[in-house]
Amino acid sequence: MSYQKWVDLLEYTFENTDIQVFTLRWLSTENASKRPKEEFDFLMNMYKEVGDKLDQILTKNQVNFKWIGNPDWITQWFKDYLDERQEKLKFPTDKYFVFGINYGWRDEILRGIKNLKNQNIDFDKIAEEDLTKSMDLWNIPPVELVIRTKWDEAQRISGFMLRWIGYAELYFTAKKCPEFDIPSYQEALGWFDKMAEKRNYGK
């Protein structure tokens, strides 16, 4: 998916639907470790090309910006850039654009455990809530829909947010990222609405 295309999807989401959170994983920890530094830097520079447009959309719709992932593989200038966006784009709403860069669920859990260790928490008394609050997405509403592009036969989510999507609907499309446009997005949302009508939430 080109950056401009997902910016269009982001704008559509917050101006035409009641969705509160839009999450994009641009690069997983597994993929990041396989890419040469030059390609990694290219991807980060591409992101900056749509930065102004993105800021305008988020500000107009009062959408908080939050980035998640392991900062170790990220060039310092890009980390600083994301930190600045996160600090600048804060609003008194429950709307979020979550950007995952060098993000993986195993790594998120590992970093969460390390955060607990740094807080000197007694691990014999640790509760699920303690671990949850130590992780990247602790303050984000529950995930309801995961859209997985690319796969027409194999249906898997490749470690995406496994700690958070236990009760989410999973939508698989054979379209690859560059082909996934607003009509494709509308189709996925329509499918989710139909599925939501059938759910009994354990009743």
pLDDT at 200 over 70: no
Q: Could you tell me if 96 and 147 lie in one domain?
A: no
> Which of 80, 103, 126 represents a domain boundary (last residue)?
103
Q: Could you tell me if 99 and 3 lie in one domain?
A: yes
Q: Could you tell me if 87 and 150 lie in one domain?
A: no
Asked whether 44 and 75 are in contact (CB, 8 A), the reply is yes
Q: Could you tell me if 165 and 87 lie in one domain?
A: no
pLDDT at 192 over 90: yes
pLDDT at 151: 61
> Which of 103, 134, 163 represents a domain boundary (last residue)?
103
Q: In whole angstroms, what is the distance from residue 145 CA to residue 133 CA?
A: 22
pLDDT at 203: 57
Residues in CB range of 14: below 8 A, 6 or more apart? 22, 57, 61, 63, 95
pLDDT at 75: 82
Q: Could you tell me if 81 and 166 lie in one domain?
A: no
Q: Could you tell me if 93 and 148 lie in one domain?
A: no
What average pLDDT does the segment 4-30 reach? Answer: 88
Q: Say what the pTM is.
A: 0.87
Q: Which domain holds residue 181?
A: 142-203
Q: Could you tell me if 78 and 151 lie in one domain?
A: no
Q: Could you tell me if 98 and 165 lie in one domain?
A: no
130 is a domain residue: no
Residue 77's pLDDT band, with cuts at 50, 70 and 90, is confident
Q: In whole angstroms, what is the distance from residue 5 CA to residue 177 CA?
A: 9
Asked whether 30 and 104 are in contact (CB, 8 A), the reply is yes
Say what percent of the chain tops pLDDT 70.
89
Residue 198's pLDDT band, with cuts at 50, 70 and 90, is confident
Q: What is the mean pLDDT of the chain?
A: 85
pLDDT at 57 over 70: yes
Total tally of structural domains belonging to the chain = 2
pLDDT at 51 over 60: yes
Q: What is the pLDDT of residues 125-157, one digit of tens each?
A: 888 889 888 999 888 888 999 998 876 666 777
Which of 7, 148, 137 has the alpha carbon at shortest distance from 68?
137
Q: What is the pLDDT of residues 88-113, one digit of tens each?
A: 999 999 999 999 888 888 889 999 99
Q: Could you tell me if 46 and 98 lie in one domain?
A: yes
Q: Could you tell me if 150 and 99 lie in one domain?
A: no
